[in-house]
């Protein structure tokens, strides 16, 4: 490569302390979490101050950072106590807070001096003049609005030295920069104060309402009930463009997702960054495998959001849907005996003798195996283990490592890379 490229940070979601440790172990350079106030994920496993301290200590021991999302929109009275809360985060060692509300930004800046502030995507920053405005107020990083295109991102980078954080993977809100009030009306839960019920993903009846005539339901006349749900974002095929355009932090959505999701996606984007910084050829060689890996945790179809044009009906979930392969997370390795090639695993889902499974670990390591010599905690040979969190042993064909995850192989994996080189949604 002709120019020295900056290594972007891989920033993973961490809804719990367990997920924080998994994300960092699987390659995340930083994680973002929620506290007990001021965030937008009230149903996530938000962190107490003691959990934050443990998380920060773990992150520092691995050379990683912890950010706290405090991106709610405040109403009168919501800001009470914010100054002390931000000071506590600073003293714990949180690397930055992610904020959208100007009142909270002002409080954090004035009452918790020394605590870095990042602008949340909820603030809808879409141009470099906006970044310059926030930079003058002391913010050092801006999370761009998800509606920013790749061309706009490139222009922003040319005109500012503010750190740029951009979403690269995960769920997309149907509303502009996530500022939606649908949940407020449908379930009386304020989406902008942490209570979103994701009403856009519900199924709705549709009615034909001809002028001057009675309405009638069209249930049965259309492939499926109507929703306002977007497909998920995946920019794995476009990591080179993001790096070349100077994105400082690759943000992965999903604080409420499983450790299977967090470990897989952190692992994939870390490997993608490493591969591209080695060479374009290295990245192109591994790209199909990276795309395949992401499909193993996909819950919805995947597209590139607004980066390469405005999403169309192909980026919405309705009509005939492509089958998403169901890879099931079944356990994790807690010890390994090289002499007997026996792995002790903590089970998370049903494991059966004869199952085709895959062990995966940091740095994109994979070992495939067939479940053999399955035994329970008492050492008894069993054919089926149905009870979650039970300790089991099994023989494996290759060395595995403590902390490796195990998934049960699915069928019919869709290789998005082969079907569409730019990574956009293709309907079967």
Domain finish residue from 285, 315, 345:
315
Kindly report the backbone phi and psi dihedral angles of residue 117, in degrees, each rounded to the nearest multiple of 5, phi listed first: -120, 130
Q: Distance between CA 43 and CA 36 in Å, rounded?
A: 11
Does the pLDDT of residue 221 top 90, yes or no?
Answer: no
Q: Domain holding 362: CATH number?
A: 2.40.30.10
Tally of domains in the chain: 3
Q: Distance between CA 319 and CA 224 in Å, rounded?
A: 6
Host domain of residue 352: 328-408
Q: Does some domain include residue 321?
A: no
Q: Distance between CA 109 and CA 116 in Å, rounded?
A: 8
Q: Does some domain include residue 222?
A: no
Q: How far is CA 376 from the centre of its chain?
A: 34
Q: Does some domain include residue 413?
A: no
Considering only residues 374 and 208, tell me which one the structure prediction assigns the higher pLDDT.
374
pTM for the model: 0.88
Q: Kindly state whether residues 141 and 281 are assigned to the same domain.
A: yes
Residue 354 has a pLDDT of: 95
pLDDT one-digit tens code per residue, 41-100 = 555 568 999 999 999 999 999 999 999 999 888 889 888 899 999 999 999 999 999 999
Q: Does some domain include residue 421?
A: no
Considering only residues 60 and 38, tell me which one the structure prediction assigns the higher pLDDT.
60
Q: Kindly state whether residues 16 and 134 are assigned to the same domain.
A: yes
Bridge-partner residues for 233, per DSSP?
A: 170, 303
Mean pLDDT, to the nearest integer, of 152-166? 97
Mean pLDDT, to the nearest integer, of 403-411? 86
Query: CB count, 10 Å around CB of 279?
Result: 11
Q: Kindly state whether residues 69 and 148 are assigned to the same domain.
A: yes
Supply the Cα-derived Rg of the chain in whole angstroms. 23
Q: Average model confidence (pLDDT) for the chain?
A: 88
Q: Does some domain include residue 147?
A: yes
pLDDT one-digit tens code per residue, 320-340 = 555 566 789 999 999 999 999
Q: Kindly state whether residues 104 and 14 are assigned to the same domain.
A: yes
What pLDDT band is residue 411 in, cutting at 50, 70 and 90? low
242 Cβ contact partners less than 8 Å away, ≥ 6 residues apart: 8, 153, 166, 168, 235, 250
Q: Kindly state whether residues 116 and 261 are assigned to the same domain.
A: yes
What tokens were used for 273?
Answer: 């960054």
Q: Kindly state whether residues 361 and 253 are assigned to the same domain.
A: no
Domain finish residue from 287, 315, 343:
315
What pLDDT band is residue 179 in, cutting at 50, 70 and 90? confident
Q: Answer yes or no: are the C-beta atoms of 97 and 126 closer than 8 Å.
A: no
Q: Kindly state whether residues 270 and 138 are assigned to the same domain.
A: yes
Query: CB count, 10 Å around CB of 394?
Result: 23
130 Cβ contact partners less than 8 Å away, ≥ 6 residues apart: 142
Q: Kindly state whether residues 288 and 384 are assigned to the same domain.
A: no
Q: Quick one: which of 288, 388, 299, 393 has its CA closest to 347?
A: 388
Q: Does some domain include residue 416?
A: no
Q: Does some domain include residue 298?
A: yes
Does the pLDDT of residue 2 top 60, yes or no?
Answer: no
């Amino acid at each position: 490569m002709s120019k020295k490229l900056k290594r972007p940070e891989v920033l993973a979601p961490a809804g719990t302390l367990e997920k924080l440790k998994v994300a960092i172990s699987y390659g995340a350079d930083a994680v973002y979490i929620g506290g007990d106030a001021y965030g937008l994920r009230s149903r996530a496993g938000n962190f107490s101050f003691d959990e934050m301290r443990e998380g920060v200590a773990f992150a520092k021991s691995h050379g990683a950072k912890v950010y706290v999302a405090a991106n709610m929109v405040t109403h009168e009275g919501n800001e009470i106590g914010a100054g002390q809360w931000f000071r506590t985060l600073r003293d714990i060692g949180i690397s930055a807070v992610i904020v959208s509300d100007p009142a909270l930004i002002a409080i954090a800046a004035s009452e918790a001096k020394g605590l870095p502030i990042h602008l949340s995507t909820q603030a809808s920053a879409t141009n470099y003049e906006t970044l310059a405005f926030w930079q003058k107020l002391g913010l050092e990083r801006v999370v761009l609005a998800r509606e920013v295109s790749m061309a706009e991102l490139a222009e922003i980078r040319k005109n500012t030295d503010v750190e740029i954080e951009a979403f690269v993977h995960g769920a997309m809100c149907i509303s502009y920069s996530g500022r939606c009030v649908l949940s407020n009306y449908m379930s009386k839960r304020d989406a902008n104060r942490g209570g979103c019920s994701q009403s856009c993903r519900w199924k709705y009846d549709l009615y034909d309402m001809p002028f001057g005539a009675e309405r009638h339901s069209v249930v049965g006349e259309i492939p499926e009930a109507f929703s306002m749900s977007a497909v998920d974002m995946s920019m794995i095929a476009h990591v080179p463009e993001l790096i070349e355009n100077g994105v400082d932090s690759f943000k992965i959505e999903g604080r409420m997702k499983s450790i299977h999701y967090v470990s897989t996606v952190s692992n994939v984007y870390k490997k993608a960054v490493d591969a591209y910084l080695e060479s374009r050829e290295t990245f192109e060689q591994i790209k199909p495998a990276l795309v395949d890996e992401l499909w193993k945790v996909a819950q919805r179809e995947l597209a590139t959001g607004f980066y390469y044009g405005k999403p169309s009906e192909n980026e919405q979930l309705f009509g005939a849907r492509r089958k998403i392969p169901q890879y099931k997370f079944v356990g994790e390795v807690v010890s390994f005996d090289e002499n007997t090639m026996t792995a002790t695993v903590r089970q998370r889902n049903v494991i059966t003798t004869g199952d085709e499974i895959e062990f995966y670990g940091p740095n994109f390591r994979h070992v495939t195996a067939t479940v053999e010599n399955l035994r329970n905690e008492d050492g008894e040979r069993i054919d089926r283990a149905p009870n979650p969190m039970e300790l089991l042993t099994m023989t494996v064909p290759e060395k595995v490592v403590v902390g490796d995850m195990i998934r049960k192989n699915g069928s019919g994996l869709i290789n998005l890379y082969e079907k569409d080189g730019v990574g956009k949604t293709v309907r079967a």
